[in-house]
């Protein structure tokens, strides 16, 4: 919710140019403040050597102790110097780096996010400086240009080279030799004879330029009116947020592509954020089909070279469009005109380690600082976003129907109490019959279970002992393919033992419950002729594997797909008509405040894979709670009633989006000192709050994940009314608390995970 909130107003927006009086002049060695990408809150002062002009945002090398560090000029230094370092002891900056300054909008975003999340400013800056190599001088390559002078000897090889350069544009030496089918010696010979001139060109190649003039699909009337509204919000060039709320398959992507085209046409850059960029091959193909070129891609698994080139191209404006994961929010766009957050409800946008922030919410702040338009797209918008629509802060555009007359799938429950699977099996008789029909008709099916591995628990039938991770409060998950027991929290694994580690009885360890591998085993026994494949984060390590399985489904080399939430995302497979959800209740167990909302979103999205084209889709939800509001809403298609109920329940309990939450997570290797510090913090907080503060302190209590990677964990929850901001209080408490150095405190404002 956070960034999208009117109560936390952004810092005033200056124009992007550094005004004359902002220039920090080196006359009598000006003092400048440089923020370093380290775990620090304050900027350090440095001196600028005489005569140099170093505007705000400039990347500079500075000395720090015995090291050299790259930082960003954040403003004028502290002229008064009281409390600061005395002028005589200040060091000079070492160098100004030859890259465009970090834009003002990004600097303000860094300040704002640090303020909002209570993260250290330097740690936030580090996200905007994640490619140190991009700040180094550009590497150069040798290129040649025609001088127009005739060489004294004109061989056929020489003629081919000159012909390639006849347009007057320079060409890289190696490409030139390759294209002319000559040795590089021929090119050098021409240069020596005076016919060519050698120059240097930047080593990186410019990204492809998307062409917004390409013909687009003919839009339906709902689609065109939504597209027109989005185009207008882009050409307005003012801050606005629009929710694009459309059922799965309604053409949301097609529609926001029109906003992308409008921004490109207006000469501005575009950022599209997707929750799982590695799985987005279909999206990339559609982009290419629409705009005739590939967008720049940004995510954490990108190679160093691609990161460097993309970062620089974004800063220089050469990159017109970037599609990326949440970290793309921190790229130094020079002229951003549109941000799209696709699947805005997806919790993958929440970063849970390092700086804890919600990229969707911070994208709202970035759009505001850029005075540009933001589009949030989803078939199942978050309650936070819907609350903002209701409050009039966001516009909303609806796409109520699937494109091209395709029908939404028929969703029904299988009551597992009435129609249970055979003992030790997980596929109920109705689901089995539906799969039979589906394969008989030559169509494709999905079995969805959001659990990796073979079985979530291994239990000793002799003594009841359960195999647990030595480092975490978590059962070890059996994986048959790798023949290991794995902890899904810390990465610990071991070979499955023969004997129970507790009672030493052999041969009594039993796998309990299903994971995708076990469902695959059962399906293979039931349907030996069906070609099946398991798709989880274990089997899909990157874009290549993802493209592989997507291609195999498209070519109908797979009949049955068994997978986790990875298969729920945006894919479009015309032959896929049946979705079976093995355990629809899974996400509701142990539920946090968003359990029902999230389960609804996830199951709706999985269901949305079925029957997206001409063939009708069918979805079976295996559940022990057929009357649960989530199942009822999915089967009846009555989303609004469900959401209204959810929103009312949150309102009643003061939960988000009606109220605000912030968590403090304390951890350390010594349980007693963690618990003591947590209690001290809670006491200090409670004592400092006036009676009518509107703030509740809940806890401290051991976290559900009480032990993680060998560290004990306690949680404290701060709950307050919407009108109250918890940050100033938290800051005051944390400043006052004097925690032992071996206890780590982390603040999670607007928490999504309560583990």
Counting contacts by CB under 5 A, is residue 706 touching Zn ion? no
Considering only residues 101, 103, 151, 246, which one is a binding residue for ligand ADP as defined by CB under 6 A? Answer: 246
**Shortest reach from residue 474's CB to Zn ion, in Å:** 6
Reading the block at residue 100, the tokens are 């465009």
Q: Which of 406, 449, 469, 584 binds Zn ion (CB under 5 A)?
A: 469
Assess 472 for contact with Zn ion (CB under 5 A).
Answer: yes
The reply to whether 122 sits near ligand ADP by the rule CB under 6 A is no
Near ligand ADP by CB under 6 A: residue from 171, 220, 280, 380: 220
Between 548 and 702, CB nearer to Zn ion: 702
Note whether 223 binds ligand ADP by CB under 6 A: yes
**Least distance in Å: CB of 561 to ligand ADP?**
18
Stretch that binds ligand ADP, among 46-54, 84-92, 243-251, 349-357 (CB under 6 A): 243-251
Number of other CB atoms surrounding residue 91 within 10 Å: 13
683: its two tokens: 């006491």
By rule CB under 6 A, what string of x and - marks binding of each residue 401-420 to ligand ADP? --x-----------------
The closest of 124, 710, 635, 672 to 412, measured between CA atoms, is: 635
Which does residue 585 bind out of ligand ADP, Zn ion, none, counting CB within 5 to 8 angstroms by kind? Answer: none
Q: How many helices (H) and strands (E) does the chain have?
A: 19, 32
Q: Which stretch binds ligand ADP (CB under 6 A): 150-158, 216-224, 542-550, 644-652?
A: 216-224
User: Which CB, 737 or 755, lies closer to Zn ion?
Assistant: 755
- Give the nearer residue to Zn ion in terms of CB position, either 474 or 520: 474
Query: Nearest to ligand ADP by Cβ — which residue?
Result: 251
Q: How far apart are the first and last CA of the chain?
A: 20
Residues constituting the chain: 755
Separation between Cα atoms, residue 69 and residue 71, nearest integer Å: 6
In terms of CB distance, is 103 or 246 closer to ligand ADP?
246
Binding partner of residue 469 among ligand ADP, Zn ion, none, CB under 5 to 8 Å per kind? Zn ion
| Binding at 572: pick from ligand ADP, Zn ion, none (beta carbon under 5-8 Å per type) | ligand ADP
Q: Look-up: residue for tokens 């559900």?
A: 704
Cα gap 461→479, rounded to integer Å: 19
The interface partner of residue 249, options being Zn ion, ligand ADP, none and the CB cut-off 5 to 8 Å by kind, is ligand ADP
For the chain, percent helix, then strand, then coil, each to nearest 5? 35, 25, 40
Residue 687 token pair: 């004592």
Smallest distance from ligand ADP to CB 377, Å: 7
CA angle 393, 596, 6 (to 5 degrees): 15
Angle of helix 595-607 versus helix 629-636 axis, rounded to 10: 30
CB of 484 to Zn ion, least distance (A): 13
Determine the Cα–Cα distance for residues 88 and 85; give it in Å rounded to an integer: 8
Under rule CB under 6 A, residue 207 binds ligand ADP? no
Residue 601 binding ligand ADP, by CB under 6 A: no
Task: Determine, following the binding rule CB under 6 A, whether residue 251 of this chain makes contact with ligand ADP.
Answer: yes
Q: Quote the least distance from Cβ 511 to Zn ion, whole Å.
A: 19
Partner interacting with residue 490 (select from Zn ion, ligand ADP, none; CB below 5-8 Å by kind) = Zn ion
Q: How would you classify the pairing of strands 31-35 and 67-76? A: antiparallel
Residue 254 interacting entry, from Zn ion, ligand ADP, none, C-beta within 5 to 8 Å by type? ligand ADP
The torsion of the CA quartet 597, 283, 236, 213, rounded to 10 degrees, works out to -160
Query: 623 and 413 in contact (C-beta within 8 Å)?
Result: yes
Is 350 an interacting residue with respect to ligand ADP (CB under 6 A)?
Answer: no
| φ, ψ at 263 (rounded to 5°) | -65, -40
Please state, in angstroms and rounded to a whole number, the distance separating the CA atoms of residues 617 and 609. 8
Q: Which of 8, 76, 217, 635 binds ligand ADP (CB under 6 A)?
A: 217
Judged by CB under 5 A, how many residues of this single chain contact Zn ion?
7
CB nearer ligand ADP, residue 248 or residue 327: 248
Cβ contacts of residue 227 below 8 Å, gap of 6+?
219, 255, 258, 259
Partner from Zn ion, ligand ADP, none contacting 246, C-beta within 5 to 8 A by type: ligand ADP
- Pairing label, strands 484-486, 493-494: antiparallel
For residue 623, state whether it binds ligand ADP (rule: CB under 6 A): no
Q: What is the nearest approach in angstroms of Zn ion to the Cβ of residue 748?
A: 20
Residue 172 structure tokens: 């890289």
User: Do 374 and 237 contact (CB within 8 A), yes or no?
Assistant: no
Site for Zn ion contains 485 (CB under 5 A): no
Q: Computed from CA positions of residues 356, 360, 365, 371, in that sequence, does the dihedral angle turn out positive or negative?
A: positive
Does residue number 276 form part of the binding site for ligand ADP (CB under 6 A)? no
Please give the order of strands across the beta sheet that includes 31-35: 44-47, 31-35, 67-76, 59-64, 95-96
Identify each DSSP E strand in 507-565 by its residue range: 509-512, 532-535, 560-563
> Can you give the binding site for ligand ADP, defined by CB under 6 A?
217-220, 223, 246, 248-254, 403, 572
> Can you give the binding site for Zn ion, defined by CB under 5 A?
469, 471-472, 487, 489-490, 492
């Amino acid at each position: 919710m956070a960034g999208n909130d009117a109560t936390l107003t952004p810092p005033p927006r200056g124009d992007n140019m550094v005004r004359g009086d902002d220039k920090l002049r080196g006359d009598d060695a000006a003092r400048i403040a440089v923020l370093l990408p380290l775990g620090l809150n304050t900027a350090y002062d440095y001196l600028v050597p005489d005569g140099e002009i170093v505007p705000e945002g400039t990347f500079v090398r500075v000395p720090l102790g015995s090291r050299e560090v790259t930082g960003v000029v954040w403003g004028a230094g502290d002229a008064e110097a009281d409390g600061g370092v005395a002028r005589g002891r200040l060091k000079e900056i070492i160098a100004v780096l030859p890259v465009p300054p970090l834009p003002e909008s990004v600097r303000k975003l860094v300040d704002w996010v640090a303020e909002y999340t209570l993260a250290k400013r330097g740690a936030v800056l580090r996200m905007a400086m994640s490619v140190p190599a991009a700040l180094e001088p550009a590497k150069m390559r040798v290129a040649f240009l025609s001088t127009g002078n005739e060489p004294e000897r004109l061989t056929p090889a020489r003629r081919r080279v000159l012909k390639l350069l006849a347009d007057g544009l320079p060409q890289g030496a190696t490409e030139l030799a390759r294209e002319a089918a000559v040795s590089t010696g021929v090119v050098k010979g021409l240069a020596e004879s005076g016919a060519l001139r050698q120059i240097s060109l930047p080593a990186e190649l410019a990204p492809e330029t998307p062409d917004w003039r390409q013909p687009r699909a003919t839009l339906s009337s709902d689609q065109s009116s939504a597209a027109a509204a989005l185009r207008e919000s882009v050409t307005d060039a003012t801050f606005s947020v629009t929710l694009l709320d459309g059922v799965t398959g309604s053409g949301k992507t097609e529609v926001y592509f029109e906003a992308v085209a409008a921004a490109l046409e207006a000469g501005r850059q575009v950022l599209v954020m997707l929750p799982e960029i590695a799985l987005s091959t279909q999206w990339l193909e559609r982009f290419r089909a629409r705009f005739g070129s590939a967008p720049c891609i940004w995510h954490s698994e990108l190679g160093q070279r691609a990161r460097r080139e993309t970062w620089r191209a974004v800063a220089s404006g050469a990159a017109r469009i970037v599609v990326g994961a949440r970290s793309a929010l921190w790229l130094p766009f020079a002229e951003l005109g549109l941000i799209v957050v696709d699947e805005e409800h997806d919790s993958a946008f929440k970063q849970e380690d390092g700086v804890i922030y919600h990229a969707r919410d911070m994208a709202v702040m970035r759009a505001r600082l850029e005075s540009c338009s933001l589009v949030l797209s989803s078939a199942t918008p978050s309650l936070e976003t819907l609350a903002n629509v209701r409050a009039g802060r966001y516009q909303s555009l609806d796409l109520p129907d699937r494109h091209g007359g395709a029908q939404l799938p028929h969703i029904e429950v299988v009551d597992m109490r009435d129609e249970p699977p055979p003992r030790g099996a997980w596929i109920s008789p109705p689901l089995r019959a539906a799969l039979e029909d589906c394969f008989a008709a030559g169509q494709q099916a999905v079995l969805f279970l959001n659990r990796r591995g073979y079985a979530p628990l291994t239990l000793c039938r002799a003594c009841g002992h359960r195999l647990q991770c030595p480092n975490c409060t978590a059962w070890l998950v059996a994986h048959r393919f790798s023949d290991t027991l794995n902890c899904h929290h810390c990465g610990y694994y071991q070979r499955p033992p023969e004997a129970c580690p507790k009672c030493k009885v052999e041969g009594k360890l039993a796998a309990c419950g299903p994971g995708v591998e076990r469902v695959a085993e059962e399906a293979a026994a039931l349907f030996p002729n069906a070609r099946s494949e398991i798709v989880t984060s274990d089997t899909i390590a990157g874009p290549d594997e993802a493209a592989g399985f997507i291609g195999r489904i498209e070519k109908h080399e797979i009949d049955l797909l068994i997978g986790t939430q990875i298969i729920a995302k945006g894919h479009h497979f015309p032959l896929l008509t049946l979705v079976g959800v093995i355990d629809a209740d899974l996400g509701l167990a142990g539920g946090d405040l968003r359990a029902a909302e999230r389960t609804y979103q996830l199951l709706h999205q999985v269901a949305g894979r079925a029957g997206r084209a001409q063939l009708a889709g069918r979805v079976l939800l295996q559940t022990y709670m057929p009357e649960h509001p989530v199942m009822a809403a999915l089967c009846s298609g009555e989303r609004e009633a469900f959401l209204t109920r959810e929103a009312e329940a949150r309102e009643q309990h003061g939960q988000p989006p009606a109220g605000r939450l912030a968590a403090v997570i304390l951890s350390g290797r010594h349980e007693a000192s963690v618990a003591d510090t947590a209690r001290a913090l809670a006491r200090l907080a409670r004592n400092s709050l006036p009676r009518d503060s509107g703030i509740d302190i809940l806890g401290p209590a051991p976290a559900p994940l009480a032990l993680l990677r060998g560290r004990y964990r306690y949680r404290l929850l701060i709950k307050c009314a919407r009108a109250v901001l918890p940050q100033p209080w938290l800051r005051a408490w944390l400043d006052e608390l004097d925690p032992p150095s071996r206890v780590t405190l982390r603040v999670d404002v607007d928490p999504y995970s309560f583990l």
